[in-house]
Amino acid sequence: MNTEASVPPTGALAGLKVVDLTRILGGPYCTQILGDHGADVIKIEPPAGDDTRTWGPPHNKDGLAAYYEGANRNKRGIVLDLQQPAAREMLLALLEDADVMIENFKSGTLEKWGLGYEAVLKKRFPRLVHCVISGYGADGPFGGRPGYDAAVQAICGLMSVNGEKGGEPLRIGVPVVDVATGLYATIGILMALRERDRSGLGQSVDCALFDCGMSLLHPYLANFFQNGKEPTRIGNAHPNIVPYDSFRTGKGQLYMTVGNDGQFRKLCAVIGCEALVDDPRFRTNGDRSVNRAALNPLIEAALAKHEAAAIAETLVTSGVPAAPILGLREVLEMPHTRHREMVVEMGDYRGVGSPVKLSRTKATYRRRPPSLGEHTQEVLAGATARRRES
């Protein structure tokens, strides 16, 4: 299957070579970002392939899971069985002109293969930026343990603050820890590359799911540092701001983020509840936060005669942040989604566009997610030729 598109490999990261040894989500999400912005990403998979190739249904017409497709475009895919010495030698050949290597093997795996960063890669390839994604890091009480998004959501405290009031802890519906770790890995790699411009040396970037999960706990940890109180689950509400919650309307659900007293006055004017502005229970955000149980039903009663999408538009144009709560089909059908180029289409492939919009060096979409080993011959032939020339 030919995945090549007629788009040249331009972008902010054009000329950057990335050797991607990752699987599942955090690492592939990172390398897709790099690939979207021009990097030459070589995805190395074992003979059985990345596990997510089969994480379906749904699958495309070639049997490839949508889960894999969502994080693996703009990559050349090859197969190497790194348990074999010859494959490890080929990996070293690929690293000779690589800028970045990213991996998420179990701690100690590279060392077992004689490819540890400190002992081997750092000395042999001093300009290489090495990034390792792990569950909990290589050392410490949990060092070396495998990490999975939902389990890390549980142990780092994210699930404890997510759920309905009085309900059980809930996993956040998207794999937020994996995605955040991919983002942090991208940031770390770019930081290391920027520093390499000054020093001429690479370094290792350490991104653990546990650390990244904890970093997402704002403002809950900030509040806890201040007051020492365990937060309670409050559903869609905000722990510090009121009204900042979902509300039923006459048709559909509305979410409002009323961040200051001026916006609260505007809200009350739009929905015909001007008397609430002078009610001593609701004059300031602090008052409203303490008395949210009394305020929210009054707001919801006023919204009963409105339709969510229409009142959201009125509120926004009046200076009150609000939005209807939409399903995925509605999101994809919105003209603004197309305007922001957030849907990528290459043949029968569709994916989410890059949210990073650079004014001169735009993201490009050049390759569909590769079939298993699709570019093995092409990539390895090039590496072998370069080794012979040197």
The residue whose two tokens read 């509120």 is 315
Q: Name the pairing type of β-strands 17-21 and 322-324.
A: unpaired
Question: Per-residue pLDDT averaged across 57-84, rounded?
Answer: 97
Summarised one tens digit per residue, pLDDT across range 172-191 is 999 999 999 999 999 999 99
Q: Is the pLDDT of residue 386 over 80?
A: no
Summarised one tens digit per residue, pLDDT across range 205-248 is 999 999 999 999 999 999 999 999 999 999 999 999 999 999 99
- Going by C-beta distance under 8 Å and a sequence separation of 6 or more, which residues neighbour residue 313? none
Q: Is the pLDDT of residue 3 over 60?
A: no
Per-residue pLDDT at 389 = 75
pTM: 0.94
Question: Rounded to the nearest 5°, which phi and psi values hold at 142?
Answer: -105, 10
- Going by C-beta distance under 8 Å and a sequence separation of 6 or more, which residues neighbour residue 138? 107, 108, 132, 144, 206
What is the C-alpha to C-alpha distance for residues 65 and 129, in angstroms, rounded to an integer? Answer: 31
Q: Is the pLDDT of residue 2 over 50?
A: no
User: Binning pLDDT at 50, 70 and 90, where does residue 69 land?
Assistant: very high
Summarised one tens digit per residue, pLDDT across range 282-341 is 999 999 999 999 999 999 999 999 999 999 999 999 999 999 999 999 999 999 999 999
For 280-314, letters b (16+ CB in 10 Å) and e give eebeebebbbeebeebbebbbebbeebebbebbee
What is the C-alpha to C-alpha distance for residues 320 and 147, in angstroms, rounded to an integer? Answer: 41
Q: Is the pLDDT of residue 128 over 80?
A: yes
Domains 17-216+338-389 and 253-324 share a fold: no
Q: Is the pLDDT of residue 8 over 70?
A: no
Give the CA diameter of the chain.
Answer: 82
Summarised one tens digit per residue, pLDDT across range 265-286 is 999 999 999 999 999 999 999 9
What is the C-alpha to C-alpha distance for residues 51 and 386, in angstroms, rounded to an integer? Answer: 31
What is the C-alpha to C-alpha distance for residues 273 and 299, in angstroms, rounded to an integer? Answer: 8
Write out the catalytic residue numbers: 178
Fold of 17-216+338-389: Rossmann fold (3.40.50)
Per-residue pLDDT at 24 = 97
- What are the extents of the domains in the chain? 17-216+338-389, 253-324
Q: Is the pLDDT of residue 151 over 50?
A: yes
Of the candidates 130, 127, 133, which has an alpha carbon nearest to the alpha carbon of residue 183?
A: 133
First to last CA, the chain: 33
Per-residue pLDDT at 6 = 55
Of the candidates 302, 241, 242, 300, which has an alpha carbon nearest to the alpha carbon of residue 270?
A: 302
- Work out the percent of the chain whose per-residue pLDDT is above 70: 97
Question: Per-residue pLDDT averaged across 50-74, rounded?
Answer: 97
Summarised one tens digit per residue, pLDDT across range 75-122 is 999 999 999 999 999 999 999 999 999 999 999 999 999 999 999 999
Summarised one tens digit per residue, pLDDT across range 9-45 is 789 999 999 999 999 999 999 999 999 999 999 999 9
97 touches 125 (CB < 8 A): no
In the CATH scheme, what architecture does the domain 253-324 have?
2-Layer Sandwich (3.30)
Per-residue pLDDT at 7 = 61
Per-residue pLDDT at 1 = 33
Q: Is 389 left (phi over 0), alpha (psi -120 to 50) or beta?
A: alpha
Query: What sign does the dihedral 57-61-62-64 (CA atoms) show?
Result: negative
Per-residue pLDDT at 72 = 98
Of the candidates 64, 12, 39, 48, which has an alpha carbon nearest to the alpha carbon of residue 368?
A: 64
Q: Is the pLDDT of residue 5 over 60?
A: no
User: Binning pLDDT at 50, 70 and 90, where does residue 384 land?
Assistant: confident
What is the C-alpha to C-alpha distance for residues 30 and 188, in angstroms, rounded to an integer? Answer: 10
